[in-house]
């Protein structure tokens, strides 16, 4: 029950006028990013980090998280209305959502997604409220070997689950770690890979890398095949028919479960969650042939799943300091920039911050429900803002944002280089997500390994003699071996294709 | 067939570039001390990582030669390639102009270049000026981030 009272105190923090305002701005920006097909949650959060620079840490993270879960709501609207997914997690919603629109039931499709998203989001944040502190209490017993093992597991999971080819995933992960080595070594103070440049001595700034890799490269990719959004129809009636309520709520329940389960697993991104939910809905349906022809469960399930996922993804981040997806890595980067270290100590060291943030997510979900039910027509119009007007402005915000980090044009140049690198990596299908996660964990991974070895009497064996770390290391090894085997048997391609459908 | 061939080739090229990068970093890593007081030194991680990257890049080349798990993305050609290069060049131009003339002029010219192809000249001028001034105001007054108004030249 402790959590409950702490949460109430959190509401005190979150309900101040300024934090309420930042929460509102955050979820609105999230909706905006979600609705616009050319901009995803990763680049959205990354390019707004510099803007949060002057804010209080709690306000800054309230806003950035709002962008993240808000975009999950917004992505639905264009999927349903014009068959263009606003962000990747809503791809699956296009199948039945757009069919419903063609039958003149766009309102019902948007209505159930909003309700489902709300339920999924709120349940996941409730889980965070109670599971987060418990998990972090458990993790407080962890020493360096356990943290090393957990980070290794997280990285391997991401590599194992993302992208078509295992070797390209591994390349991305190692590249990320190598980029993290640039600058002064934390333990001995020696400079590594600086090539005599003063700017590189501080290492590579996380925000610089994220804005380039995700922001610039996304604009370049869009320049190739611009998405054309046609005028959406007017939305009428937001509620499903009476006999549809039962099955809809059941699929919302299943979606919540799947989303939360996959949310805590590193590397299982929200696309996997919504796809799984769709497959499950089709399996349990009495008449699977309705799917693809406007089945309401095919909209409710996946949309719930991706929102439950986004809430649950914060559990490993808050309690273990482990980002499970690129967006989480960006938010982790923002934590660090504001002088906070996510991890087991966060709940005890910065309770005001954590509980304020969690409370703001309840508020944010309510705001989003309002924005998505009565005001949905207004958001649909935003999708009509021409991209040719938007992309120069986005580029400008990225440029000025990068400059504002340290007031240095050197950063801007580096950011542009990362933009081109990101574009090339995308073309080669080397997963950038793996790279950004290992980059942000790189120095911690190294430090925890060195600390483990310095307290160890038996060298590297310490990772296998400590019970908890031994278990985690074994899981990591099993996953690694399995993903090699699946690569050899060529099953990976099939799984990746499933996700893309 | 030719089309598919070029897809294979990009993987081989990328693998080769990665191998050279890894080799270069490996040689650099050897300069940092491999072991320190507490066990592994600052050279430990870089040496292993760049070593692993070398092995991975050879594996990548092998996979590309075999044509397994080839990336389904295609490289841009013709019009879209031009469009991408145009954006990159204007970004670089912004950095140069920023150094020379400061933010306001650089921002204005940058936006004007990108809008010019799509809008009439007077719309372009008005929008570029308006957006630049708005962003300047946002960063300077609201977000308290100082953007220089003048560069090296004036």
Residue with tokens 């990719």, as numbered in its chain: A221
B63 contacts on A by Cβ (under 8 Å)? 165, 167
Yes or no: say if A41 and A33 are a contact pair by the CB < 8 Å rule. yes
Residue with more model confidence, A238 or A55: A55
From the list A233, A232, A235, the residue with the least C-alpha distance to A384 is: A232
Tokens of A339: 């002088």
Q: What is the pLDDT of residues A362-391, one digit of tens each?
A: 999 999 999 888 888 888 888 788 888 889
Q: Which of B14, B61, B120 is the best substitution to test chain A (most A C-beta atoms within 10 A)? A: B14
- Reported as a single tens digit per residue, the pLDDT across A246-286 is 889 999 999 999 999 998 888 788 888 888 899 899 888 88
Interface test with A, best of B27, B38, B97 (most A CBs within 10 A): B38
Question: Does A494 score more than 50 pLDDT?
Answer: no
What domain range includes position A365? 2-227+238-500
The number of domains in chain A is: 1
Q: Which residues of B touch A387 (CB under 8 A)?
A: none
Q: Is the pLDDT of residue A233 over 80?
A: no
SS3 assignment, position B35: strand
A400 touches chain B (CB under 8 A): yes
The closest of A362, A259, A302, A323 to A13, measured between CA atoms, is: A362
Q: What are phi and psi for residue A36, nearest 5 degrees? A: -75, 125
Question: pLDDT over 90 for what percent of chain A?
Answer: 30
Give the one of A181, A187, A427 whose C-beta lies nearest to B73's C-beta.
A427
| Strand pairing category for A191-192 and A183-184 | antiparallel
Contact A412/B at CB under 8 A? yes
pLDDT reading at A68 higher than 70: yes
Residue B153 burial (C-beta neighbours within 10 Å; 0-12, 13-18, 19+): exposed
pLDDT score at B8:
67
pTM: 0.88
Specify the pLDDT at position A500. Answer: 34
Give mean pLDDT, residues B72-78. 81
Residue A290 CB coordination number (10 Å)? 16
Q: Quick one: tokens of A329?
A: 């890595």
Contacts of A446 in chain B (CB under 8 A): 45
Query: Is A413 buried (19+), middle (13-18) or exposed (0-12) by CB count in 10 A?
Result: middle
| pLDDT for A492 | 52
- pLDDT, tens digit, for every residue of B22-53? 999 999 988 888 877 667 778 888 999 999 99
Nearest partner of A208 among A446, A439, A486, A455, judged by Cα: A439
In which element (H, E) is residue B36 found? strand B35-36
Long-range contacts of A3-6 (CB under 8 A, 24+ apart): A3/A129, A3/A130, A3/A133, A4/A129, A6/A133, A6/A351, A6/A355
**Is A271 among the domain residues?**
yes
Could you tell me if the ipTM is greater than 0.85?
yes
Cβ-Cβ contacts under 8 Å, B132 against chain A: 396
- The arithmetic mean of pLDDT across residues B132-137, rounded, is 91
Q: Which residues of B touch A388 (CB under 8 A)?
A: 115, 118
Domain ranges of chain B: 2-66, 78-142
Q: Which two tokens stand for residue B108?
A: 């204005």
Mark yes or no for CB contact B143/A409 under 8 Å.
Answer: no
Residue A187 touches chain B, beta carbons under 8 Å: yes
Between CA B141 and CA B119 the distance in angstroms is 30
Q: How confident is the model at residue A412 (pLDDT cuts 50, 70, 90)?
A: very high
Report CA-CA distances (Å) from A433 to A158, A269, A289, A495.
Answer: 8, 10, 36, 18
Is A232 contained in some domain? no
Angle made by CA atoms A419, A421, A423, in degrees to the nearest 5: 70
**pLDDT at residue A86 tops 60:** yes
Q: What is the DSSP letter of A193?
A: S
What is the pLDDT of chain A when averaged over all its residues? Answer: 86
Residue pointed to by tokens 């502190």: A133
* Structure token digits, residue A436: 């950004």
The minimum CA-CA distance between B2 and chain A, rounded to whole Å, is: 18
Above 50 in pLDDT, residue B1? no
The pLDDT tens digits for A281-335 are: 988 888 888 888 888 999 999 999 999 998 899 999 988 888 888 888 999 989 8
Task: Give the tens place of pLDDT for each residue, A114-139.
Answer: 999 999 999 999 999 989 888 988 88
Rounded to an integer, the average pLDDT of B96-118 is 91
Q: Work out the number of other CB atoms within 10 angstroms of the CB of residue A289.
A: 9
Helices A106-139 and A57-82: angle between axes, nearest 10 degrees: 150
Find the Cα–Cα–Cα–Cα dihedral A161, A167, A172, A174, rounded to 10°.
110
The 3-class secondary structure across A439-473, one letter per residue, is: HHHHHHHHHHHHHHHHHCCCHHHHHHHCHHHHHHH
Model pLDDT for residues B85-106, shown as the tens digit of each residue: 999 999 999 999 998 988 999 9
Q: Is the pLDDT of residue A498 over 50?
A: no
Residue range A177-226, pLDDT digits in tens: 999 999 888 777 788 888 878 888 888 988 899 999 988 988 898 888 77
pLDDT band at residue A243, thresholds of 50, 70 and 90?
confident
Task: Establish if A88 belongs to a structural domain.
Answer: yes
Has residue A474 been placed in a domain? yes
């Amino acid at each position: 029950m402790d959590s409950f009272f702490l949460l109430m105190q959190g509401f005190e923090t979150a309900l101040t006028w300024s934090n309420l305002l930042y929460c509102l701005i955050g979820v609105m920006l999230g909706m905006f990013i979600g609705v616009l097909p050319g901009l995803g949650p990763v680049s959205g959060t990354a390019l707004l980090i510099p803007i949060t620079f002057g804010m209080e840490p709690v306000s800054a993270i309230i806003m950035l998280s709002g962008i993240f879960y808000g975009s999950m709501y917004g992505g639905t609207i264009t999927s349903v209305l014009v068959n263009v997914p606003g962000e990747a997690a809503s791809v699956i919603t296009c199948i039945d959502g757009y069919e419903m629109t063609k039958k003149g039931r766009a309102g019902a499709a948007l209505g159930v997604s909003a309700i489902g998203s709300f339920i999924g989001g709120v349940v996941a944040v409730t889980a965070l409220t109670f599971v987060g502190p418990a998990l972090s209490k458990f993790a407080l017993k962890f020493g360096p070997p356990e943290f090393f093992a957990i980070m290794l597991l997280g990285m391997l999971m991401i590599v194992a689950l993302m992208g078509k080819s295992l070797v390209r995933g591994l390349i991305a992960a190692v590249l990320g770690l190598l980029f993290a080595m640039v600058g002064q070594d934390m333990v001995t103070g020696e400079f590594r890979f600086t090539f005599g440049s003063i700017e590189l001595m501080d290492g590579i700034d996380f925000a610089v890398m994220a804005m380039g890799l995700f922001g610039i490269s996304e604009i370049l990719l869009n320049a190739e095949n611009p998405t054309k959004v046609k005028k959406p129809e007017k939305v009428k009636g937001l509620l499903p028919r009476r006999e549809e309520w039962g099955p809809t709520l059941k699929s919302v329940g299943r979606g919540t479960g799947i989303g939360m389960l996959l949310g805590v697993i590193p590397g299982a991104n929200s696309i996997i969650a919504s796809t799984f939910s769709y497959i499950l809905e089709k399996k349990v349906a009495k008449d699977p042939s309705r799917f693809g022809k406007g089945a309401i469960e095919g909209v409710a399930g996946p949309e719930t799943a991706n929102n439950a996922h986004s809430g649950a993804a914060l559990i490993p981040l808050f309690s273990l300091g482990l980002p499970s997806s690129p967006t989480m890595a960006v938010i982790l980067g923002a934590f660090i920039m504001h002088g906070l270290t996510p991890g087991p100590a966060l709940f005890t060291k910065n309770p005001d911050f954590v509980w304020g943030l969690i409370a703001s997510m309840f508020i944010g979900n309510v705001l989003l429900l309002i924005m998505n039910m009565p005001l949905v027509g207004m958001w649909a119009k935003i999708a009509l803002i021409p991209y040719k007007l938007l992309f120069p402005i986005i580029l400008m915000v990225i440029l000025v944002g990068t400059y504002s980090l340290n007031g240095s044009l050197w950063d801007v140049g580096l950011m542009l280089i990362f933009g081109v690198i990101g574009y090339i990596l995308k073309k080669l299908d080397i997963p950038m997500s793996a790279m950004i996660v290992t980059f942000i964990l790189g120095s911690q991974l190294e430090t925890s390994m060195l600390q483990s070895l310095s307290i160890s009497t038996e060298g590297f064996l310490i990772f296998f003699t400590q019970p908890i770390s031994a278990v985690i290391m074994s899981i990591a090894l099993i996953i690694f071996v399995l993903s090699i085997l699946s690569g050899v048997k060529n099953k990976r391609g099939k799984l990746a294709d499933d996700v893309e459908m | 067939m030719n089309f598919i061939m070029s897809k294979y080739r990009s993987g081989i090229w990328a693998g080769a570039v990665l191998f050279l990068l890894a080799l270069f970093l490996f040689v650099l890593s050897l300069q940092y001390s491999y072991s320190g007081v507490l066990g592994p030194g600052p050279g430990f991680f870089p040496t292993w990582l760049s070593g692993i990257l070398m092995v991975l890049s050879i594996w990548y080349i092998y996979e590309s030669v075999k044509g397994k798990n080839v990336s389904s993305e295609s490289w841009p050609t013709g019009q879209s390639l031009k469009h991408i290069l145009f954006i990159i060049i204007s970004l670089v131009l912004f950095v140069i102009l920023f150094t020379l003339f400061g933010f306001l002029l650089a921002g204005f010219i940058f936006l004007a270049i990108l809008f010019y192809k799509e809008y009439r000249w007077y719309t372009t001028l008005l929008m570029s000026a308006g957006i630049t001034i708005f962003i300047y105001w946002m960063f300077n007054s609201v977000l308290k981030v100082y953007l220089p108004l003048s560069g090296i030249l004036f």
